[in-house]
Structure 1
Amino acid sequence: MTDSGPVTAPVEPLAGYTVALTAARRREEFGAALERRGAKVVYAPAIRIVPLADDARLREATERCIAAPVDVVVATTGIGFRGWVDAAETWGLADRLVAAFESADLLARGPKARGAIRATGLREAWSPESESSSEVMSYLTAHGGLDGKRIAVQLHGEPLPDMLQTLRAAGAEVIEIPVYRWVPAQDMAPVRRVVECVAARSLDAVAFTSAPAAASFLQTADEMALRSAAAEAMRGPVVAACVGPVTAAPLGRAGIPCVIPSRGRLGALVREIVEQVPIRRGLRLRVGERALDVRGHAVAVDGVLVALPAASMTLLRALAARPGYVVSRADLLNLTGTTDEHALEVAVGRLRTSLGDPALIRTVVKRGYRLDCEPVSASSGCL
């Protein structure tokens, strides 16, 4: 963003922040919800869904479900369960498959899977509040008597080794239903750009709605030799936001903390981002008589948003990190990547002009610059 100047509309909670979305599905809906709250949204789908309607394994698994009674059917995703029934329709097997479901206990991992089951005219026997596969597994094992049971498990793009192994160890005959799989996006350039921005800490948050997307993001960072820098940034100022614990698992294994809503819904994830990004990324200060809210690529001065170019934001963040303390010319020159002290003076002058009050930044002769407030730690400088 290169333009600067005041915006007189009310400052939205995410105004001045940039959020990257790795979602393959519902990304427009997700992005629009964030944009309504002021965010700048960067789209970088990390994966795509490949249906397996013509896959021989899916047809063979479907025929096994029809050939003999199935005791339990586990639907893990709505799109997957619907895709299974649609594929059976193309083979002329849909009626027989739904008839096989009628005698089985239908377990839905979440509300979307539950809705897909009901769309066939059937009702689920049980669905967990947590929407997790582990709770489905706990439900099955708690009810015991799995020996000899025939259980069909609809996979959701990647294997479920823990569930499948546990069921088989308990004596169940498990039929794996591979309805679709996740593969890297056709164009990975946007993901690579996001990885670079995360490593450079120029993004405020990255949102994930599936575990395969999180894994793809990390794999891309590995391929770019930026895994360490990106992970370190996401342990610090860059917020990793995940729709649920299953999605967060690949990041957790990499030691990256995630913000996760209490309910695994897109709307809940939006609310979590709205709440957490300003807390974790923003900095509110009292400078002179002015209230400054330093954001990702902008600053609100007394409630008026001022968009700043990258160089000005770099300077302001350096000064705001140690409110009231002098930041040396050498440090600021190093941050801006120049050795020209006159260029630094010009950059500081532009920042003062953008803020609308030159007195907010004081020059300390022969030393550097500081914000015009009593020296405090950054953490205690909040309003």
Structure 2
Amino acid sequence: MTIDFEDLKVISFETRQADKIADLIIQAGGRPVVVPSMREVPLEQNTEALRFAKLLLAGWIDALALMTGVGTRLLVESVATKYDTGQFIEALRQTEIIALGPKPVAALQELGLSPTISVPEPYTWHDLLDILDEKYPITEKRIAVQEYGQSNPELVEGLRERGAEVISVPLYRWELPEDLTPLHNAARDIISENPRKVDLCLFTSATQVRHLFKVAEMDGIAEQLREAFKKVCIASVGPIASRAIAEQGLTVDFEPDRTNMVHLVRETARRGKDLLLKKRTAFANGINTNEWRLTDMIWEKQPGKVSPAKDSVFVKACRCEKTPYTPIWIMRQAGRYQREYLKIRKNVTMLELCKTPELAAEVTLMAVDRLGVDAAIIFADILLITQPMGCDLDFVKGQGPVIFNPISTRQDVDRLQEPDATEFTYLFDAIKITRRALRPDIGLIGFAGAPFTIASYMIEGGKSANYAKTKTMMYQDKGAWDALMEKLTNVLVEYLNGQIASGADVVQIFDSWVGSLSPDDYKLYVMPHVKQLISRIDKSAPVINFSTGNPMLLPLMKEAGGDVIGLDWRCDLAQAWSLLGNDVAVMGNMDPVVLYTSAEQIRAQVQKILDKAEGRPGHIFNLGHGILPDMPPENVAELVDAVHELSAR
């Protein structure tokens, strides 16, 4: 998909940068209406600012939190009415300065200063408190907070709870514009249905939201406005504006990963048409779209017996059928590179997230909504099956998955259970929820680890550099090895078939560590078990057989089975496909590290891989492995767009 509003009517309430946001909307193919919604009114008396300056110059202030660029500049101007600016700046230089985002940083640079601590995105007061906890304990510290527009009682309380003495420094307040006519008209335009005058609303501050509803209340149409928002897409620049939207009883439909105006417009333009269709479809199907989650979506009141996803672009490619473009999904497309994912993950453990069906489904759907990929993959982990088998599994910060009772003997293998599929009801429920809420023409992928990779975790106890313990058991005690692989295969058959029965259209088998083996070892110790596993999987769902690390295994992987063979970036796609033959689809295979580069480089690498595929039916684009946690979200979206645009046939 492209960055294009496709002529949608877009209203913004930006004041200070009204011309800029109008230009951005026009450049992105939208029809803008920009409505000034507030004005800055400096406080007539600078009492608090001058009091702060007196305390600072006396050496009484330990730290200063600067919340806005405008407020930072106004603070200096206010202090200059009574104190020497040079002395004030020098006193600031001796003080711990916490800057909330790039704007106060820029204002400080104008003064020749730099912040001691820069609050990371999305620049909320929560992030400010978190970084203070990490880098600057504030017990018994005296902290001044430059306020903007209105006080933030939660921030002040959070600082006090940590033992700080807080001095508030208000500098200006937000008031309604002197001319309220544009706001009155905007509220009525949002309500209007015949003709419909607004498709999307962009909010770049909390005050914009409050002022819109304040004017609507003056006109006695606040409830009509709330009702109208059930069919108008709401985009928010970040968490603070989103919170104000929620306070009005509304749900934000889109919030960019980067909290700035440019990303708000670009990403909303990219996804706006789909999100608007989704919201209006949900409303037509009886959903209260002012209070809804991704998992509440209903696309069809009475779904047919055969899922349209069976003929989706993605599933057709899995069957080597012709498609109008190359479909793409991305391993770890829901994960730590996304701010929304981190917000959810902050409150639950990895296991809690995987085992809470509503949350797992929400995370799964979130990635599709944000990226516009052609398939969803259920959020889970390959090691979930090990717990009911008797393994003590947990996810340890900085280490990843750890099994605290690793297997080392035949007796350990014999003690392992072969759990009934009911042990995985939480996963099957997550798939059912996801399939219901997922757009019908988008495929849903279930998955599992392959027997070798799971066995390696069970034996090593976690990640390994050389898999020495795994290979030692494999070579030294083939009886124990085969018994372990057979148990895993039996459990995996039930696990994958349960996912298919619950609504998965395709299943993938991840053999991430099998590349550590030679072809001979794979053929003797692994292939028989993978072959057995794939042969017992429900034939209604195509199977993706994926491994990394050793292209020499590809012919044996094909022999083991699978409708699609996943390729990592270490092999040439054209050569690999030629080796595998035309009767199997392939998936891949861009190096994930390319996503650290530029849009131009991403597109060049995409084109190179598409050229190797030559437009043959059966190519599914993916990375050679998963998205890394610190990859720029906008580059991931760029990858999706590049594949769709460059492969269109």
Shorter chain as normaliser: what TM range? 0.5 to 0.7
Q: C-alpha distance in 2, partners of 1:97/1:144? A: 23
Is residue 2:101 matched to residue 1:102? no
Deviation at 1:20, TM superposition (A): 1.3
Q: C-alpha distance in 1, partners of 2:18/2:121? A: 24
CA contact (8 A) 2:35 2:182 kept: yes
Is residue 2:243 matched to residue 1:249? yes
Is residue 2:216 matched to residue 1:221? yes
Matches within 5 A, 1:1-383: 13-52=4-43, 54-127=45-118, 128-143=120-135, 145-201=137-193, 202=196, 203-235=198-230, 237-258=231-252, 259-281=254-276
Give deviations 1:150-198, integer Å, cap 9, x for gaps. 1111111110101112223433221211122111111111111111111
Deviation at 1:82, TM superposition (A): 1.4
Q: Which amino acid aligns with 1:174?
A: V
Q: C-alpha distance in 1, partners of 2:27/2:214? A: 31
CA contact (8 A) 1:70 1:103 kept: no
Q: Which amino acid aligns with 2:53?
A: T
Q: Which amino acid aligns with 2:153?
A: P
Out of 186-195 and 224-233, give the one that drifted further.
224-233
Match of 1:346 in 2: none
Deviation at 1:246, TM superposition (A): 0.5
Match of 2:507 in 1: none
Classify the secondary structure of the residue corresponding to 2:64: strand
Deviation at 1:24, TM superposition (A): 1.5
Deviation at 1:147, TM superposition (A): 3.3
Match of 1:306 in 2: none
Deviation at 1:381, TM superposition (A): 11
Deviation at 1:282, TM superposition (A): 5.5
CA contact (8 A) 2:6 2:273 kept: no
Q: Which amino acid aligns with 1:191?
A: L
Greater percentage in strand: 1
4+ long deviations beyond 6 Å: 379-382
CA contact (8 A) 2:121 2:259 kept: no
Residues 380/139 of structure 1: CA separation in 2 closer, same or farther (3 Å cut): closer
Deviation at 1:74, TM superposition (A): 0.7
Classify the secondary structure of the residue corresponding to 1:249: helix
Q: C-alpha distance in 1, partners of 2:18/2:71? A: 18
Match of 2:613 in 1: none
Classify the secondary structure of the residue corresponding to 1:179: strand
Q: Which has the higher Rg, Structure 1 or Structure 2?
A: 2
Out of 54-63 and 104-113, give the one that drifted further.
54-63
Q: C-alpha distance in 2, partners of 1:144/1:98? A: 22
Give deviations 1:186-224, integer Å, cap 9, x for gaps. 111111111111122421112111111111112222222
Q: C-alpha distance in 2, partners of 1:155/1:90? A: 19
Classify the secondary structure of the residue corresponding to 2:80: helix
Q: Which amino acid aligns with 1:194?
A: A
Match of 1:357 in 2: none
Classify the secondary structure of the residue corresponding to 2:148: coil
CA contact (8 A) 1:155 1:177 kept: yes
Classify the secondary structure of the residue corresponding to 1:198: helix
Q: C-alpha distance in 2, partners of 1:57/1:19? A: 40
CA contact (8 A) 2:3 2:267 kept: no
CA contact (8 A) 2:66 2:98 kept: yes
Greater percentage in helix: 2
CA contact (8 A) 1:106 1:126 kept: yes
Deviation at 1:12, TM superposition (A): 8.5
Classify the secondary structure of the residue corresponding to 2:73: helix
Q: Which amino acid aligns with 2:62?
A: D
Unaligned stretches of 5+ residues in structure 1: 1-10, 284-378
CA contact (8 A) 2:3 2:270 kept: no
Q: Which amino acid aligns with 2:186?
A: V
Classify the secondary structure of the residue corresponding to 1:156: strand
Q: C-alpha distance in 2, partners of 1:13/1:138? A: 36
Deviation at 1:145, TM superposition (A): 4.5
Out of 106-115 and 138-147, give the one that drifted further.
138-147
Out of 116-125 and 241-250, give the one that drifted further.
116-125
Unaligned stretches of 5+ residues in structure 2: 279-438, 443-649
Q: C-alpha distance in 1, partners of 2:20/2:135? A: 39
Structure with more contact order per residue of length (Cα contacts < 8 Å, sep ≥ 6): 1
Deviation at 1:105, TM superposition (A): 1.4
Q: C-alpha distance in 2, partners of 1:14/1:274? A: 5
Q: C-alpha distance in 1, partners of 2:266/2:159? A: 37
Q: Which amino acid aligns with 1:16?
A: D
Residues 13/141 of structure 1: CA separation in 2 closer, same or farther (3 Å cut): closer
CA contact (8 A) 2:28 2:266 kept: no
Q: C-alpha distance in 1, partners of 2:33/2:158? A: 40
Classify the secondary structure of the residue corresponding to 1:38: coil
Give deviations 1:234-287, integer Å, cap 9, x for gaps. 23x21111111111111112231221110111110111221232213369xxxx
Deviation at 1:16, TM superposition (A): 2.7
Give deviations 1:18-74, integer Å, cap 9, x for gaps. 111111211110111111223221121111111237432322232222223321111
CA contact (8 A) 1:53 1:84 kept: no
Match of 1:297 in 2: none
Match of 1:348 in 2: none
Q: Which amino acid aligns with 1:122?
A: L
- What is the TM-score of this pair, normalised by structure 2? 0.40
Q: C-alpha distance in 2, partners of 1:282/1:252? A: 21
Out of 248-257 and 83-92, give the one that drifted further.
83-92
Q: C-alpha distance in 2, partners of 1:48/1:275? A: 31
CA contact (8 A) 1:53 1:179 kept: no
Q: C-alpha distance in 2, partners of 1:269/1:144? A: 32
Q: Which amino acid aligns with 2:260?
A: R
CA contact (8 A) 1:45 1:191 kept: yes
